[in-house]
Chains A and B, each alone.
Chain A
Amino acid sequence: MVKGLFFKGSILMIFTSVAAQDYTFDIPDINEPSGLRLSGHLDGRIKGLALKSNSPLKILQMGNGGYSNYQTQWLSELYLDGDYQYDKIAFHLGTYGRSELPASGTFSVFELYNHFSLGQRFSLAFGKIASNWGKGYAFNPAGFINPPKDPENPELAREGKVLLKLDYVRSFSSPAFQTVAVDLVLLPPSVLLNNKYADPAEITIASKFYVLGLDTDLEFYQFSDQSGDHRLGIGISRNIGPSIEIHGEYAHYYDQLSNSFNSTSIQQLTNSGSEYLLGLRFINTRLTTTILEYFHSDFGYSSSDITRFSDYLEKTILSPNPVDLKDAASVAQSFFSSKNIGQDYLYIKFSQPEPFKILYLTTTVQSIINLNNLSLLLSPIISYKPYTNSEFILWSTIFLGNPDSEYGIKSVAWSSELWLRIYF
């Protein structure tokens, strides 16, 4: 019998024989001195786009003619993270760099924060943090302090907000009441003096209360700022059987700004309303994962709003006045360019690892459907990972719907991207 002893600070090698093969096991990082550890991934992307020849949005954004309706984009994106850990102190840096044709680029700090563990139950974090409240996958009605999420790719890193967070967690031995956690969050106001100074009387307070009991995650959320924006929310998640998970969120907003569009301009109203989400995740015996989510927002544009906006664009592109075109482009960019601008959505995703027993391949089909005007985007996605720490992705998207619907109004008919991703 071989005697093996484990010493922290030294590399341990265990040689084991399994069948005719030797397996070595070198525990990583044990012998490395404390320091900043870098990690992340680099994405190289080539995107092909088919533009709609008669799209008013395309004409506003790119002018009328003189170019092909088939275009490409060439991008490099670097997600570079740094982590430092020493005993109970840590800091995290998350950055994003983007370079695209011809020679432009951007660099952003997505996260930069310190973290202090104050014993087993308390911790404190301060800095720019990308929070993730809520239980939904593609949508988070109760994500009051979250950065905006792209439902087409919910797992992308996002830029956080500067905040101070105090966490408390406590475990119990009763199955009816297993864990309690409280997050208290302070955020500076969104409007700053000279873009630098924050009035302490206008600090935003947000909190989350979490309970795990009877095998159910239950969360309560609160958000209040001094401008009168108050929000309350609840989130729930539970497994039903070994292969199904259900989740839901509900958020009520008091005095929330919402937009509607008459035939020529945006109308902004302050009113109360709700958003909610119901979802499930299911895996079958063939390991096909299905995610279904229904999302509703009282604050989204109605079908009529989007139809009126489409009519407005159609009329505006015929105007000889360049100011009209500029105004229309500004309205489109400011009020109609974000994701899920409508009221009712269905999100569907099917994912199958190794279909037809093709190794390292995962195929996915996802769709986001605006239920009010029955327009949708449909994305077949192929991921191939033949080598460790690398991934090839083919991601195509087609937009379908009437020209005056949310996805029909877009300037792109379809797109197809090839990604090469390397992890380090």
Chain B
Amino acid sequence: MKKTLMIIILFPLVFTQSLLASDGNQILQKVDERLFPESFESYRKIINEEPNGNVKEFVFFTLKKGKDKVAMLYIEPASERGRATLRLGDNMWLHIPNVGRPIRITSMQSVVGGVFSNADIMRLDYSVEYTAEIQDQTAEFWVLEAKAITKMVAYDRLKMWVQKDSYNLIKVEAYAATGMLIKTIDFKELKDFGEGIIRPAVMETTSPLYKGYKSVMIYAGMKKRSLADEVFTLAYLSRLEELR
């Protein structure tokens, strides 16, 4: 009898929890669909603002296909030109023209410095790396709690604010396993890039670990493009310029 009572009491809780998780994952998938088409090219600029007010800028040409293939070519400044990075799932490589051979890099590193890490610049779909459940909601937003699926993911936990009417991502807080806040990313400037791509054009990030620093990523020229899988291989890294 006691056992039956426990089941009757606990079942709705467990059922609701799994519903919330399922809803959370579905929302996360919709967020990914809003942020990135299935296969596309884009130009991005990263602006790193230093504590002394100086600014360093980088421009990239980016290709992405599916949920976990990203290739990037550095265009500016001249000191970085010709460098390229590739991400396939948890694997990342950096190609430096003089070195020639792509070297494996890690998600924690930042090839451009500033607050954005390699994991941020070559981000996969959130639904590939995290499972999410609805932690809270208002009339306007869901607040998702996303947990990393594997230890290879850069951030252990994310807190995400998602607009209910559009599935647009508004803000992300990234946490380490210790509970420490690593960085906050604000998504701004909703823009219509054409071909049905409507998404934030600006991502602004700050971090309590980098006091006085701010990094901004600006998207331009995002358009759908059919890409062969072979574009996302080490052999193609030195040839990305031919795809511009």
Contact = CB atoms under 8 A, between A and B. Distances in A.
Interface residues of B, number: 70
Interface in B50-97: 50-52, 54, 56-57, 59, 75-79, 81-82, 88-92, 96-97
Contacts, number: 175
Greatest chain A CB density within 10 A among B78, B188, B194 is at: B78
A239 B50 contact: no
A39 B75 CA distance: 12
A338 B109 CA distance: 34
A87 B89 CA distance: 29
A173 B229 CA distance: 9
A244 B222 contact: no
A327 interface: no
B236 interface: yes
Nearest to B229: A171
Interface string A246-271: 01000000000000000000000000
A25 B220 contact: yes
B19 interface: no
Nearest to A237: B104
A100 interface: no
Greatest chain B CB density within 10 A among A81, A179, A238, A391 is at: A179
Given A3-B192, A132-B99, A389-B79, A181 B233 contact: yes
A311 interface: no
A280 to B, nearest CB: 11
A424 B223 contact: no
A27 B78 contact: no
B108 A423 contact: no
Interface stretch (A150-158, A198-206, A399-407): A150-158
Contacts of B76: 28
B192 A181 contact: no
Given A137-B103, A171-B233, A283-B106, A123 B239 contact: yes
A287 interface: yes
Interface string B111-149: 001000000000000000000000000000000000000
A212 B221 contact: no
Contacts of B230: 120-121, 169-171
Contacts of B59: 25, 27-28
A81 B16 CA distance: 62
B45 interface: yes
Nearest to B45: A25
B14 interface: no
B21 interface: no
B241 interface: yes
Contact of B100 (A14, A131, A389): A131
B99 A388 contact: no
Given A4-B192, A85-B241, A215-B90, A130 B100 contact: yes
A312 interface: no
Interface in A125-174: 130-135, 137, 154-158, 167, 169-171, 173
Give the size range of A's interface with the partner.
35 or more
B154 to A, nearest CB: 6
B6 interface: no
Contacts of B13: none
Nearest to B110: A287
A94 B47 CA distance: 30
List 6 A-B pairs, minimum CB-CB distance, nearest first. Answer: A132-B100, A171-B229, A132-B101, A423-B79, A6-B221, A169-B235
11 contacts: A6-B220, A12-B220, A14-B220, A18-B189, A88-B242, A169-B236, A173-B229, A210-B234, A217-B234, A238-B104, A359-B52
Given A23-B45, A25-B220, A281-B103, 15 more contacts: A12-B220, A18-B189, A23-B202, A27-B43, A27-B59, A39-B78, A41-B79, A87-B242, A120-B230, A120-B231, A173-B229, A179-B88, A181-B234, A245-B104, A289-B109
Interface of A: 1-6, 12, 14, 16-19, 23, 25, 27-29, 39, 41, 81, 83, 85, 87-88, 90, 115, 117, 120-121, 123, 130-135, 137, 154-158, 167, 169-171, 173, 175, 178-179, 181, 210, 212, 215, 217, 237-239, 241-245, 247, 281, 283, 285, 287, 289, 353, 359, 388-389, 391, 423-424
